[in-house]
Amino acid sequence: SLMKAVMPGFLLHEWRKRKFNPRLVEMGITPTPARGPVEFLGSTYGGHAIDLASLNKDSVFYCLGAGLDISFEEEVAKRTGCHVDIFDPTPRSVTWLQERLKSQSNPNPIGAQFTIHPIGIWSGDSSLKFYSPQNPEDVSYSLTNLQGTEEFIEVDCISLKSAMQRNKHS
């Protein structure tokens, strides 16, 4: 189709993922069309396509699940000056984020633009089981136990609406 010829594969993938993802709609997120050029920011693993023209220093920017790669979020913060709220309940990710953004011995110059929330975002406010990965070197836990492990952690989750209320965002 014409869209495939015009858009690189990763942009097409991101567009489809955002436009047709019913879970985002459940959480109250409605995709909007880009107002400016869309560009890819961050690493190959943790990067995303974004329209930076729609963001400025007063924008509300939420990261839902950081893992061990916030290259995308760091680039957005640098380029727009906006504050980034990171929601990730996994212990290894929280520790890594604190070291990366809050280290006293080697402060990150944009660390003040980030707030770490060690909770998950879900369709409601509840405690959920996050199943451990099979490989202890991996960071991603699974709600649906994708890797068939028996170990899990219980994590507090809140809805996007509750997160926004806590942060006084409209």
**Secondary structure of the chain as H, E, C letters:** CHHHHHCCHHHHHHHHHHHCCHHHHHCCCCCCCCCCCEEEECCCCCCEEEEHHHCCCCCEEEEECCCCCCHHHHHHHHHHCCEEEEECCCHHHHHHHHHHHHCCCCCCCCHHHEEEECCEEECCCEEEEEECCCCCCCCCCECCCCCCCCCEEEEEEEEHHHHHHHCCCC
Percent pLDDT > 70 in the chain is 76
Flag the least confident range among 129-133, 137-141, 165-169: 137-141
Question: 121, 160 in Cβ contact below 8 A?
Answer: yes
Examine the pLDDT at 140 and tell me if it is beyond 50: yes
Question: 63, 85 in Cβ contact below 8 A?
Answer: yes
pLDDT of residue 112: 84
Identify the band that residue 125 occupies on the pLDDT scale cut at 50, 70 and 90.
Answer: very high
One-letter amino acid identity for 136? P
Identify the band that residue 58 occupies on the pLDDT scale cut at 50, 70 and 90.
Answer: very high
Examine the pLDDT at 5 and tell me if it is beyond 70: no
Q: Which residues, listed in sequence order, are joined to residue 128 by a DSSP beta bridge?
A: 155
Rounded Cα gap, residues 128 and 109, in angstroms: 34
Model confidence over 109-120: pLDDT tens digits? 778 899 999 999
Rounded Cα gap, residues 170 and 121, in angstroms: 17
Question: 103, 114 in Cβ contact below 8 A?
Answer: no
